[in-house]
Structure 1
Amino acid sequence: MNTFKALQISKDGDQQLTESVQLSRDDLMPGDVLVTVEYSTINYKDGLAITGKGPVVRKWPMIPGIDFAGTVIESDHAEFSKGDAVVLNGWGVGEAHYGAYAEEARVKGDWLIKKPEGMTAKQCMAVGTAGYTAMLSVLALERYGITPEQGPVLVTGASGGVGSVAVSILAKLGYEVIASTGRKEHADFLRQLGASEVIDRAELSEKGRPMGKERWRAAVDSIGSYTLANVIAQTQYGGAVTSCGLAQGADLPLTVMPFILRGVSLLGIDSVMAAKEVREQAWARVQQDLDLEKLELLSETVGFDQIIEKATDIVDGKIKGRVIVDIAK
């Protein structure tokens, strides 16, 4: 029986073990589409799963990896045929269903979309869930009515996956972008992506006042906790803030003051269970509005054997931009 490599997380009591294993197709979970996984990526959630520093995994043992790009091997789904190039983001893959860090994956076809025309599988994973989430955030601000002439947009966690793609997209769309980062050495990198101003995350990461000076018209936040509270407190009248992450924490210590005195809106962003039409719209806009030269600038590619190392680095805040995983490498 043919086997293939996979990264598996298992538990022995309170101890978590992450190791490379050999699986067969009989080991895979149910689904109506079998895919050769060509590229994946390392998101913050993947880092939490592999290091055990967050309650991401819901079924044991698990193959982590929440997104992939690859080619259909077999399909019993009406929309997909052998040879189709596909992309998957979310849907509990890598959490409750075997994920991307394996040479093959069996999933539900309803979770897949066709690879966007004009993008390679590798470019799709340079975007990955983080970049797709960044685009969902931009789309939410657009639906709210935020336009470039209204004022600057703040991006927190700007050196990370969501943040770096958000900076690049917003800048290309003509927005004045303020990038917040805790890594001063990345200031030039963020300006290359299009940020007009770079501020220290320390300005936002501690307990602040219920209302602050109005500094930005809108914001894309992937940090949560005090950072998100301070971002909201310093958003201009009638502005909006998107929330898509919890790198600092899941708490939100703020008052209702910005909402009832300035009419600020908080827009929640879910990338995991978003409907197919929402995903397809976001990916179409990624292809249209993300500068692929900048995508190359903010990405690095690693092999399968480096996943654990890079997963640890992303949780420790040592990753700049996006990490692509070449599964066959």
Structure 2
Amino acid sequence: MRSKKLAMLVILALLNLLYMKAPTSSTLSDDNKPPFKQNLHLPRIKPPFKQNVLLPRTRSTTSRSIVSVVVLDQLEKEESDPLVPPPKATKSERISWFRRKLPELEILKSTTKSKRFHGRVLELYNKNCSAQFFMVWLSPAKSFGPREMLAVDTLFTTNPGACLVILSNSLDSPRGSTILRPLLDQGFNLVAVTLDIPFLVKNTPAEAWLKKLKSGKMDPGSIPLYMNLSDLTRLAVLYKYGGIYLDTDIIFLNSMTGLRNAIGAQSLHPRTKRWTRLNNAVMVFDLHHPLMREFLQEYSTTFDGDRWGYNSPYLVSRVTQKVRRTQA
């Protein structure tokens, strides 16, 4: 689970991959306070419609009728996630289950809506953004709560003029628009866009992996597939567009626009201060960076859906270690 990852995230440092040096630590003094207000409360928004609507008297009626309007939660029911495999299933049982589920997995398809992905991303980034940010949200829209809202708010507070694309099928909806409205009302350059995974992995090493997955002959693993798709998507979108990827629970203290080709460190050696494990929760890369392609290659050829972190923090750590050894 992502919460486990957060518990492990003891230190968040940013490393320059060109030199593989650990950053020096610093503390905030009275003269170096975070540029955002603590305990920031976002404005409460009004419901999109009234609970009770009074219909006017008409010739065909002799009395007024009160119609109860169904609230947004009921209008947009979110069913159980089809990407979560049955518990304690064997490998063959999971493959059979996944083959049956494939027709309903819209996230793996290029649909009329998802094919707008590229155009909508370019439309936002044509606004002279000071930086290009990406986040991925594959959970239900209703789960996007105060923590995530604060993360987005601090992103824009510390990075004025930035643009943010949230890759999310659930937030690219009427309900998602309502949830994100307090942020949009502040003038932030923000858009939630339905994923087009086939487009993102096209002409990358991960294209073969997706083809094999969609064939129904591959074991998706015991870990919910949406977690592994999130790991794949962040790699592919940075390779295709370049920019900054961040998890939706990162709170910003300073601007990130000065960083280039850097990645978050999950832990440092207590004596040497060199990283011992990296984490794909924070990544900053140029368009078509060769290391991002190496990440996608590793994902495609060594995918393991049964080991938590194998396709995410452990993946970027082992690939970067290989590259560092070859450059030594």
| Larger relative strand fraction | 1
Using the size of structure 1 for normalisation, the TM-score is 0.26
The alignment's TM-score, normalised by the length of structure 2, stands at 0.26
Asked which structure has the greater CA Rg, the reply is 2
> Which protein has greater RCO, CA pairs closer than 8 Å, 6+ apart?
2
Q: Which has the higher helix share?
A: 2
